[in-house]
Amino acid sequence: MGTHEECKGSTPLLGDAFPEMTVQTTRGIMELPKALSGKWFVLFSHPADFTPVCTTEFVAFQKRYDKFKALNCELIGLSVDQVFAHMKWEEWIKEKLNVEIQFPIIADTGKVARTLGLIHPGKGTNTVRAVFVVDTNAKIRIILYYPQELGRNMDEILRVVEAMQIADKEKVAMPANWPNNEIVGDHVIIPPATNVKAAEERLAKAKAGEFECYDWWLCHKKR
């Protein structure tokens, strides 16, 4: 096993451009992020093929693949396994669970995982359960990490993709548990005013019924 410095890689940060890379996948060679230009994508790593939690995750992702595509969002899996292992695992899932995996899986030698900071120094060559949500400009917008013991919630990943798209398009913020927030329901949050005049205008607009406010800094509206 390598040293901590050799394994940890340089994890990209929110807002960074997704690193350019050429990868071998179960659907052929892909140049990322160029191959998905104009699309959002979710790149998610899993510790290894033919493992129980990862199998449940891949089935869950595939069951929601159409919903991701409806959001102009693609899925890409990744682990430090050969493409042949990925292909045999796909075959097993189709044969035993009657689910056909239709999105590509990156066959990594470890280079991609190190580039994205996915190798935990205490876990050998296994990648952590990471999720990178990348927008149409190839910017990393969300990064999620899970331990090997915990499978991901794919409905939450769907939710964050949809929420970020709405936030970008409508220049709003999304409340906790959107669209089922305990205070404002399915409304979206209007960014708070940054000066006195804007705050006064905000309250005046609220009185006129353009949106609702608890105070000048907490205003919301229906989409």
CATH label of the domain that carries residue 16: 3.40.30.10
C-alpha to C-alpha distance for 151 and 146, rounded to whole angstroms: 8
Q: What is the residue whose two structure tokens read 């999105």?
A: 103
**Whether residue 205 sits in one domain with residue 120:** no
**Residues 216 and 123 grouped into a single domain:** no
- Give the chain's radius of gyration (CA, Å): 21
Give the structural domain span for 188: 171-223
- pTM above threshold 0.85: yes
pLDDT, tens digit only, all 223 positions of the chain: 344 334 444 689 999 999 999 999 999 999 999 999 999 999 999 888 899 999 999 999 999 999 999 999 999 999 888 999 999 999 999 999 999 999 999 998 888 988 998 876 665 556 788 999 999 999 999 999 998 889 999 999 999 999 999 999 999 999 999 999 999 999 999 988 889 988 888 888 888 988 999 988 999 999 8
Q: Are 115 and 48 in a shared domain?
A: yes
**Are residue 129 and residue 192 in the same domain, yes or no?**
no
- Under DSSP, the state recorded for 20 is P
Domain tally, the chain: 2
Residues 139-179 have pLDDT tens digits of 999 999 998 889 999 999 999 999 999 999 999 999 999 99
Residues 197 and 110 in one domain: no
For residue 199, count other CB atoms closer than 10 A to its CB. 16
Catalytic residues: 54
Contacts by residues 169-175 (CB-CB < 8 Å, ≥ 24 positions apart): 170/223, 172/221, 175/220
Q: Which two tokens stand for residue 18?
A: 């997704």
Tell whether the torsion through CA atoms of 94, 98, 101 and 102 is positive or negative. positive
Report the length, in residues, of the chain: 223
User: Domain boundary residue among 136, 152, 170?
Assistant: 170
Residue 23 CA to residue 188 CA, distance in Å, equals 38
Distance (Å, whole) CA 179 – CA 130: 24
